[in-house]
Amino acid sequence: MKILFAASEAGPFIRTGGLGDVAAALPKAFKALGHDVRVVIPYYKLEIPAQFQNLMSYEGSTFVDLSWRRQYCGVFKAVYEGITYYFIDNEYYFKRNGLYGHFDDGERFAFFSKAILESMPIMDFVPDIIHANDWQTALVPVFLDCFYRYSKEYQMIKTVFTIHNIEFQGKYNKCLIDDILGLPFGAGSLVEDSDCANFMKGGIESAARVTTVSETYAQELMHPFYSFGLDPILSSRRFKLRGVLNGIDTKLYDPMTDKALFKNYSFDTIEDKAENKKGLCEMLDLPYSPDKPIIGMVTRLTEQKGMDLVAAVIEEILAANLQFVVLGTGDWKYEEMLRDLERRYPTKVRTIIKFSQDIASKIYAGSDMFLMPSKFEPCGLSQMIAMRYGSIPIVRETGGLKDTVIPYDAETGIGRGFTFKTYNSYDMLDAVWRAFGTFRDKKKWNAVVSNAMSADFGWLNSAKRYIEIFKEI
């Protein structure tokens, strides 16, 4: 099968979060199953590291019409680890600092979505499936139906749209529908929602299948608490909605080979995990004690990630004999709260406000527990990475957290983590104490660590499920 995977970011070229991880790993899994997969992302000239830009070659250029605009569109290509990547070039739209958050993001990603379709002749690749991801590429199925279906090469292309996080929908003033998208008369309703232009709604309407990144999240999206206003449309389009759990790149996230670690280890050499705890403490100038559990967090510091719950009970947690290490960036109020904690608990808390893969790995390896009390979590990669590194997740039972973290049951010995249901700080605290209690019983704790580290979070099963869906359509 020929698959064009469209996204606004893809590791290792450029990534800001989970989507970049998925775009790095899922295409590899499609390839491993024998499919011809290519990936297309914008050419962020100021953001993609030079070593990757050096791999690119210029393939050609064309123009993309956005209503009355006619915009240049260059196509660059790079082959990396056997996969072909295309980069859509337009310096006005993409030669900027940062990927998102510009005043004209709607126009930028409408351009990108249409440019993908327009540049297919330059790529010399007519896919069977275009797999669009999140709001930035949600207009691909819309533009395909509205502008390209008449042409023979495009007639048989089927589209799948994956929602990685419904919070970000690409919602703009309605005037954008005429002024930028330039959709034909009558087609505007595809993207119109609550008197706004809503890109994600367009993807849901037009794609042949809509998927999201866990079974539980697919069900949760039917409810207003989780859907950010899209539950009516998703409920009525339920027939095409599927949940497919993400995996993680098990080669990249492997404590046996991860170069960032102080000492590599597996479950068979789990004693060496202590070297990482020691190393982490030394690096952060924290007193080291094997008996004191370190609770780690590697996260965006936002409400979604449950930072409100953490803020509410962190003082009670810190009253116990443990340490707390957080790596993250995000809302100023949480950054300040965590900086303040570090000031007041200098032997117990470390707050690192930056994005660093290197430090992230050191925390996954050096911590005993990994806190992720998300309000909602479409899939979540961090908890899977944590389990692979033997850091036991403490999570709320939502979305992918529910589907990946089987709660530990001391009676049966089954389970990989500690969970709570209600979005309530004292329920979270209870889960922390359960983890803390189990940590003191080394035999039981080792059993949980063994369960967590032996779980299969590879991409192959997910890729097979996507292929089934592609075949369905």
| Contact footprint for ligand ADP (CB under 6 A) | 17-18, 21, 298-300, 327-329, 355-357, 360, 379-382, 385
Write down the least CB distance from residue 279 to ligand ADP, Å: 17
Write down the least CB distance from residue 356 to ligand ADP, Å: 5
**Nearest-CA neighbor of 6 among 131, 174, 186, 148?**
131
Distance CA 274, CA 365 (A): 9
| Phi, psi dihedral angles at 248 (to 5 degrees) | -125, 160
Judged by beta carbon, residue 18 or residue 127, the one nearer ligand ADP is 18
Write down the least CB distance from residue 246 to ligand ADP, Å: 7
Q: Return contacts of 185-194, CB within 8 angstroms, 24+ apart.
A: 187/142, 187/145, 187/146, 190/142, 190/146, 191/139, 191/142, 193/229, 193/230, 193/233, 194/229
Task: Give helix 307-318 / helix 425-440 axis angle, nearest 10°.
Answer: 50
Judged by beta carbon, residue 157 or residue 385, the one nearer ligand ADP is 385
Judged by beta carbon, residue 12 or residue 60, the one nearer ligand ADP is 12
Judged by beta carbon, residue 202 or residue 378, the one nearer ligand ADP is 378
Alpha-carbon Rg for the chain, nearest whole angstrom, is: 23
Which SS3 state, helix, strand or coil, does residue 242 take? strand
Distance CA 422, CA 442 (A): 29
Judged by beta carbon, residue 21 or residue 107, the one nearer ligand ADP is 21
Which SS3 state, helix, strand or coil, does residue 331 take? coil
Write down the least CB distance from residue 133 to ligand ADP, Å: 12
Task: Give helix 332-344 / helix 307-318 axis angle, nearest 10°.
Answer: 10
Which residues in 397-447 belong to E strands, given as ranges? 418-420
Judged by beta carbon, residue 21 or residue 193, the one nearer ligand ADP is 21
Write down the least CB distance from residue 370 to ligand ADP, Å: 10
Judged by beta carbon, residue 127 or residue 380, the one nearer ligand ADP is 380
Write down the least CB distance from residue 25 to ligand ADP, Å: 11
Distance CA 392, CA 452 (A): 7
DSSP letter at 219 equals H
Judged by beta carbon, residue 134 or residue 193, the one nearer ligand ADP is 134
Write down the least CB distance from residue 311 to ligand ADP, Å: 18
Write down the least CB distance from residue 379 to ligand ADP, Å: 6
